[in-house]
Chain A
Amino acid sequence: MIGSDNARVTARLMALSVGMLAFALFVMPPLYDAFCEVTGLNGKTGARYEAVPAGVNRERLVTVQFVTSNNKGMPWHFRPGVVSVKVHPGEAMDAVFLADNPTGKTMVGQAIPSVVPFNAAQYFHKTECFCFNQQTLAAGESAELPLRFIVDPDLPASVNTITLSYTLFDVTERASINREFENKNEPEREG
């Protein structure tokens, strides 16, 4: 009798530990991302914004400040077109970022956005952003990278300045691995 009790308890506890492993591997990362998006944790700004907020608040002006940095060995020149703009909440605004690839090879870059203060992150909506995609620049090529954003009229009154930071990563290697992987999966398409 004790033997079967042991088997039952063991099976349950094993299931619990496997469940916790699955929780860590498959639930925590997406849960964390969802949590970040809701709370603006770590200044994450979320994916493309589709809806149009109601009305423009002409009474209020918010400063949006742009900063850029390059990760690790990323040799591109990357800077905002203007360092800051003033914008009415609710109004769509365009900005450009300038990138050029001074090296002799084609490279792929990925910009990662981050916003401070954190409590503004969820009110900063990007309707169009170069950061949604990887950017490929040939040797010596330069590009104007577009951003269109709307500051939500619900932005807390305490926030007057929003700083948007882009960090540019060199993802050339990562992109080529992915391309090879895709090619392997669809070998006959071209030929």
Chain B
Amino acid sequence: MLKGFNRLFAWMAVVLPAGGALAQEKGPERWGVNMPRGVTEVAQTTYDLHMLIFWICVAIGVLVFSVMFYSMWRHRKSRGYKAAQFHESTAVELVWTIIPVVILVLMAIPATKTLYDIYDTEEADLDVMITGYQWKWKYDYLGADVSFFSNLSTPRAEIDNLLPKNPHYLLEVDEPVVLPVGKKVRFLITANDVIHAWWVPDLAVKKDAIPGFINEAWTRIDEPGIYRGQCAELCGKDHGFMPIVVKAVPQEEYDQWLQQREAEAAKIRELTNKNFTFDELIARGKEVYNRNCAACHQANGQGVPSTFPAIAGSAIATGPIGQHLSIVVAGSPKNPAMQAFGQQLPEADIAAVITYQRNAFGNDMGDTVQPIDILKFKNNQQ
């Protein structure tokens, strides 16, 4: 019965213009009117629960409103209808107290069962720690040397309407979190600064990330694919710009990816000892800047008046290099919005971005910073 209703609903969605709300392809679907069915057992149970409650509400609504509309149509003064004078009935009151209670109990049973499923985080095959930052996510694969930040990768020009928007506008990142299909993955969720919430509708996982505390959730993805979500708790300026992309792949592919990431991590550490040319630093720095700094200081280095200071012509970017290193590596002691990037970015990236900031936006300081300087600075900060 319920399945039939669901099909009806799906059909209704399809006949809407541009249709296909519940179609199989994973691209963005216009005119989508309903929750995704999801790709995990929990997501599908949740979806069924949602539809069950929805149809119960529709049924009650139809009942109540048809009595109401009937009476609005029949019992009108203009039709000469004379008002009855009844105004109470304990029996009727009892009936419409007890029946709803019964319906509620019927709703509560499947809801409770689903909730127990969602809370069963035991015996996970893989643990991933998720940390919310203003305004990006960090993923740590516990037990592996893999840890990375995942930033919005939509070009600023698309947001500012200078370029046409691509199909995954605002739902794309530079580094998706990669998970194996068919495995129970446990998420340990926390935050670095304010409260965030990690949400991927297709997995039906939404959990708040709270600074200082840890939360857990789990998923077992059935189908390989790319699943997109967003931060769901207001976390400041760029709350709308910290998406989540989950890439679910078969186990072998996952293993390969993990190995490759571990190798890359080792390579990045080696970069610390490399001597970069000015041009290399600027090129790398621009990329790092746009990914990590432009959200606040803006791509043109002008900042936002009275909220985020400009880099162009700033006392720090055009002053002694030590101060510049200090604020990027250790953050600003006065303004919590300026994070400490010392542990978020590899030395090579920090060196590059500082060099870039000192030479872009008309700053033209002409000096460079090498990765090794960053390491020395970190270990011997004055």
Residues of B contacting A112 in the complex (Cβ-Cβ under 8 angstroms)? 212-213
| A83 to B129 alpha-carbon distance, docked (Å) | 13
Residues of B contacting A75 in the complex (Cβ-Cβ under 8 angstroms)? 329-330, 340, 342-343, 378
**Cβ < 8 Å to B, chain A residues 74-115:** 74-75, 77, 83, 102-105, 112, 114-115
Are A105 and B127 within 8 A (Cβ)? no
Kindly report which residue of chain B lies nearest to residue A160, judged by CB atoms: B122
A112–chain B nearest beta-carbon distance, Å:
5
B97 at the interface (CB under 8 A from A): no
| A115 to B190 alpha-carbon distance, docked (Å) | 12
Kindly report which residue of chain A lies nearest to residue B121, judged by CB atoms: A117
B112 at the interface (CB under 8 A from A): no
Residues of A contacting B342 in the complex (Cβ-Cβ under 8 angstroms)? 75
A69 at the interface (CB under 8 A from B): yes
Residues of B contacting A139 in the complex (Cβ-Cβ under 8 angstroms)? 381
Are B214 and A67 within 8 A (Cβ)? yes
Residues of A contacting B119 in the complex (Cβ-Cβ under 8 angstroms)? 117
B24 at the interface (CB under 8 A from A): no
Known contacts A75-B330, A103-B330, A139-B381; decide if A70 and B343 are in contact (CB<8 Å). Answer: yes
A116 at the interface (CB under 8 A from B): yes
Kindly report which residue of chain B lies nearest to residue A172, judged by CB atoms: B333
| A163 to B128 alpha-carbon distance, docked (Å) | 12
Are B122 and A158 within 8 A (Cβ)? yes
Question: Chain B interface: which size bin?
Answer: 35 or more
Are B211 and A167 within 8 A (Cβ)? yes
| A86 to B340 alpha-carbon distance, docked (Å) | 35
> What 0/1 readout, one digit per residue, does chain B (329-340) give for beta carbons within 8 Å of chain A?
111110010011
| A71 to B211 alpha-carbon distance, docked (Å) | 7
Known contacts A73-B340, A165-B188, A167-B190; decide if A114 and B382 are in contact (CB<8 Å). Answer: no
Kindly report which residue of chain B lies nearest to residue A168, judged by CB atoms: B212
A153 at the interface (CB under 8 A from B): no
Kindly report which residue of chain B lies nearest to residue A76, judged by CB atoms: B343
**Cβ < 8 Å to A, chain B residues 43-98:** none
A159 at the interface (CB under 8 A from B): yes
**Which residue in B127, B213, B343 is a CB contact (below 8 Å) of A65?**
B127
B233 at the interface (CB under 8 A from A): no
A63–chain B nearest beta-carbon distance, Å:
10
Residues of B contacting A169 in the complex (Cβ-Cβ under 8 angstroms)? 212
Residues of B contacting A103 in the complex (Cβ-Cβ under 8 angstroms)? 330, 378, 381
Known contacts A74-B340, A165-B214; decide if A65 and B142 are in contact (CB<8 Å). Answer: yes
| A147 to B211 alpha-carbon distance, docked (Å) | 22
Are A163 and B214 within 8 A (Cβ)? yes
B364 at the interface (CB under 8 A from A): no
| A74 to B211 alpha-carbon distance, docked (Å) | 13
> What 0/1 readout, one digit per residue, does chain B (103-145) give for beta carbons within 8 Å of chain A?
0000000000000000111111001010100000000101100
A19 at the interface (CB under 8 A from B): no
Kindly report which residue of chain A lies nearest to residue B217, judged by CB atoms: A116
Are B193 and A43 within 8 A (Cβ)? no
**Which residue in A70, A74, A102, A167 is a CB contact (below 8 Å) of B381?**
A102
| A99 to B339 alpha-carbon distance, docked (Å) | 20
B14–chain A nearest beta-carbon distance, Å:
42
Known contacts A43-B213, A163-B216, A167-B212; decide if A69 and B143 are in contact (CB<8 Å). Answer: no
B290 at the interface (CB under 8 A from A): no
B153 at the interface (CB under 8 A from A): no
Known contacts A116-B188, A116-B214, A161-B122; decide if A69 and B131 are in contact (CB<8 Å). Answer: yes
A146 at the interface (CB under 8 A from B): no
Are A165 and B330 within 8 A (Cβ)? no
B192 at the interface (CB under 8 A from A): yes
**Which residue in A42, A74, A116 is a CB contact (below 8 Å) of B121?**
A116
B306 at the interface (CB under 8 A from A): no
**Which residue in A70, A104, A114 is a CB contact (below 8 Å) of B192?**
A70
Other than the given A67-B142, A72-B192, 9 more pairs (CB < 8 A) read A43-B215, A67-B188, A71-B212, A72-B331, A73-B331, A75-B330, A104-B382, A116-B121, A116-B215
* 28 A–B contacts, CB within 8 A, in A order: A42-B213, A67-B129, A70-B343, A71-B211, A71-B212, A72-B193, A72-B211, A72-B339, A73-B332, A73-B336, A73-B339, A75-B342, A75-B378, A102-B378, A102-B379, A102-B381, A104-B380, A112-B212, A114-B190, A114-B213, A116-B216, A117-B216, A160-B123, A161-B124, A163-B188, A165-B214, A167-B190, A167-B213
